Structure 1
Amino acid sequence: MSTTGAKVFYTMVRPNGSHMRIKIDPYPLASLAHARRRAMEIARDVELGEFDKPSEVSEASALTLGETLPKFIELHAKPNTKDWKRTECVLHKFNGLNERPIDQI
């Protein structure tokens, strides 16, 4: 879990002998299989000496609010909330922010 209480996949590596915790992706947007593959890629880069810093999500590939809300409804609201349609209606109030990256909101 992150400091805000959100569920996030992390991996621990030791580049140059120092412990480092690297954020992979948030759950449920990333599957466990994806997180494991990414953790193995990071560990490989550390072993080969190609690891400098965790690569942050670039501006071009960052998810926007418009991309995230439908995923949230399908992956979380529908399976876990009886009144998911109300949640969907409330979230549509933020349609003006659909083009903004999620990390800038």
Structure 2
Amino acid sequence: MRVPIAAMALTAAGVMAMAPLAPAQAATGYVVINDTRYDDPSGCYPLNHLDRAFVVNHTGERAYIYHDPACTRRFLAEVVPPGDTEVFWGAGSLRID
């Protein structure tokens, strides 16, 4: 019996559509921004252009520093590598995924 290619493709697409999507993963560990600890951080954390932002990155991911408070504009090209501590002046936000 011959099954048309289109029918096989539709069957495969249906099976794939029923497969669960993998959830977004947070970084494992914690980040400290000044005196506040965030466990298993994920996303954007505003730094509110603090005079000084003391960042401790105890995750396996890089933390990126942005100029604006919403992690959307002008990445400052500054990174807090995993296991590192940095101090930033006038930064707007931190993103870690």
TM-score when normalising by structure 1: 0.24
Q: With a CA cutoff of 8 Å and minimum separation of 6, indicate the structure with the bigger relative contact order.
A: 2
TM-score when normalising by structure 2: 0.25
| Higher strand residue share | 2
| Higher helix residue share | 1
Q: Which structure's CA Rg is the greater one?
A: 2
